[in-house]
Amino acid sequence: MSKGVQGAVLRLLRAETFRLRVKSTMLECGGLMKRITFSSPDELPAVLFEPAAWIRLWFRTSEGREVQRAYTVAGYAPDRSTIDVSFYLHQTSGPAAAWAQRVRSGAMLDVSLLGSRPFHLDEWAKGVVLLGDETAFPAVRAILASLPDDIEARVLLTGEHDLSAFIPTRQRTDVHYLPVQRATHGFERMLRELDDSRIRDRAADNRVAADELWHCWAAGESSMMRAVRAAAKRSNVLCEQKPSTRSYWSRHRVI
């Protein structure tokens, strides 16, 4: 079956390809997500085992075309023989979500690997600010699991559903949920509060600026990500000139 222009471009760019076989499936997060464990006949590429790594999975549409969709590696077996992907079962006829709804053990998927930039903590960061909706939830969990114990985390979850109860407990971590309409304001407020406390701390012990700053990672629906990116750029409390924000899906078109 043809992978069309997307497949031709990925071939041209020498994307690595391999196949995954569904080993088992399990509903999680109160049935909103389906976690699928995949095995591979070949050794899995090392890059998959870094926090928030992602792969391009190929699905068949109802018209018989093959299309690729990006998904995060949500976890893996200690011996690295399997990886897990958590699919948000959004209620549309998207080929990826529809496949995840009905898939059974033994099903096979083609995978392309290109462009995955795993999360790397800025070495000076005082803490991490994470924002994400249901599609970014697997990455948020993977990032939190990768953080050293002394790193603070402020997590703002958004989307149609509050998944905060499904974030494993971690010291020095605040987790909040806000619905989509209030998430950008909430994010701005969170950055303002961090900045206020940075200024207060500074007056107290006059620490150097670099280790007062926070690392920012955000992903979700594309129009929200535009607003989040703008708010992040206006803030004085984030490490990077260009915070790590990424559109994971669009209300108006397929990304």
**What residues line the site for ligand FAD (CB under 6 A)?**
54, 69-72, 86-88, 90, 92, 94-97, 134-135, 138, 248-251, 254
Q: In angstroms, what is the minimal distance from the CB of 9 to ligand FAD?
A: 16
For ligand FAD, the closer of residues 67 and 194 by Cβ is 67
CB of 204 to ligand FAD, least distance (A): 40
Closest CB to ligand FAD among residues 91, 206: 91
Taking each helix axis from N to C end, the angle separating 180-205 and 222-234, rounded to the nearest 10 degrees, works out to 20
Query: At closest approach, how far in Å is the CB of 219 from ligand FAD?
Result: 7
* Nearest one of 52, 41, 8 to 108, comparing CA atoms: 41
Distance CA 202, CA 195 (A): 10
When the beta carbons of 97 and 227 are compared against ligand FAD, the nearer one is: 97
Among residues 114, 105, 139, 138, the alpha carbon closest in space to that of 20 is found at 105
If the CB atoms of residues 188 and 222 are measured against ligand FAD, the closer one turns out to be 222
**127 or 249: whose CB is closer to ligand FAD?**
249
The least CB distance from residue 163 to ligand FAD, in Å, is 11
Instruction: Specify the 3-state DSSP secondary structure of 170.
Output: coil
Give the shortest CB-29-to-ligand FAD separation in angstroms. Answer: 11
Helix (H) or strand (E) holding 51: none
Answer whether 228's CB lies under 8 Å from 218's CB.
yes
Q: Which residue is nearest to ligand FAD (CB)?
A: 94
Nearer to ligand FAD, 56 or 198 (CB): 56
What letter does residue 122 receive in the DSSP assignment? Answer: -
Please name every residue paired with 190 in a beta bridge, in sequence order, or none if there are none.
none
Residue 102 tokens, joined: 């009905």
DSSP character at residue 135:
G
Helix, strand, coil fractions of the chain, as percent rounded to 5: 30, 30, 35
Angstrom distance (rounded) from CA 215 to CA 148: 13
Least distance in Å: CB of 65 to ligand FAD?
Answer: 11
